[in-house]
Structure 1
């Protein structure tokens, strides 16, 4: 047993010596780049950007507690007062979109029939565009179909569990920020 312990101590000592012998004299020096490769270029000729995290709240969405709706991403973020995302989820947009900007929740309805005839719940309205009221909602049957493009509708549909979370978060007066 003593022989094994002595061998282990000797091995650790030898490895520690090797590690200390290979430490640079000046640890504050930055390592030199060994590659001379050119920066990557996008097909348009400009430098490429690192890929954006699709779950990260958009940088241009303001500060503080808010609901963020990204039109292009078809995604909503619930952001607390400290700027931390508490939930994010995808949505099915309506045929009429709100313009990018900052809004406030103006009305809520627990359960109504949507303009498409579907029974919906947890309706949170925040904008009007093209004479159409725009808001978030969830279909009671859980569906999120694409809206009929021939009808002007303002319901931004989500899954029921996401609708429950948004309903609890977005009370009257809550900020809603729409980004492109």
Structure 2
């Protein structure tokens, strides 16, 4: 009985490598033929996902305030009670209204100094996405949103609070945008 010839190990490795490359190529072609995300110019609703990016607008109420600096930054207008997330190309990625606490920072440039995932606010509300950026008269000032998504009650208790609250979706977007060291420009 004749002894069958053995293939050298390099032949087996080469064959398996060619087969794997062919399989990956077939899968890549199939993936390329599937659906692709399309850019949209629609402005997201308040329930839009955190990564949604509105189209920049030029209306007076949503235009980034003059004198708020340049580059990637968070802009907070005390008078408009509004925040803008501005990217490095000066495009507004999101803008939204906020409910400030009873203590507001002075106009100026700050940086996000620390972040906390969740805690109880000084008003007893469960909050998340806390981003500290300033202090005034012994009160820390931070952006946050209520965990349950509720708007804060009117500040009539006489308590000194530095929380700048926002809707839950806006808080999620700000949390994704503002890392420690991110510039926060506070304007009138």
Shift of 1:105: 0.3
Distance 1:107 1:123 in 2: 8
Shift of 1:149: 5.1
Where 1:98 maps in the other structure, the secondary structure is: coil
- Partners of 1:168 and 1:115 in 2: CA distance: 24
Alignment-derived partner of residue 135 in structure 2: 128
TM-score, normalised on structure 1?
A: 0.70
- Whole-angstrom CA distance in 2 between matches of 1:103 and 1:127: 7
Counterpart for residue 16 of structure 1: none
Structure 2 counterpart of 1:147, from 155, 172, 184: 155
- SS of the equivalent of 1:116 reads coil
**Counterpart position of 2:76:** 69
Query: Over residues 60-83 of structure 1, what are the superposed CA-to-partner deviations in whole Å (9 max), with x where a residue is unaligned?
Result: 100000000000000000000011
Partner of 1:86: 93
Aligned length: 129
Tell me, yes or no, if structure 1 residue 174 matches structure 2 residue 165. no
Give me the TM-score of the superposition, normalised by structure 2.
0.67
Where in structure 2 are the equivalents of 1:91-102 lying within 5 Å? 91-102=98-109
RMSD: 1.0
Change (3 A) 1:115 1:53: same
1:35-63 Cα deviation digits (max 9, x unpaired): xxxxxxxxxxxxxxxxx711100011000
User: Which segments of 5 or more consecutive residues in structure 1 lack a partner in the other structure?
Assistant: 1-51
Greater Rg by CA = 1
| 8 A contact 1:103–1:127 mirrored in 2 | yes
CA deviation after TM superposition for structure 1 residue 148, in Å: 3.2
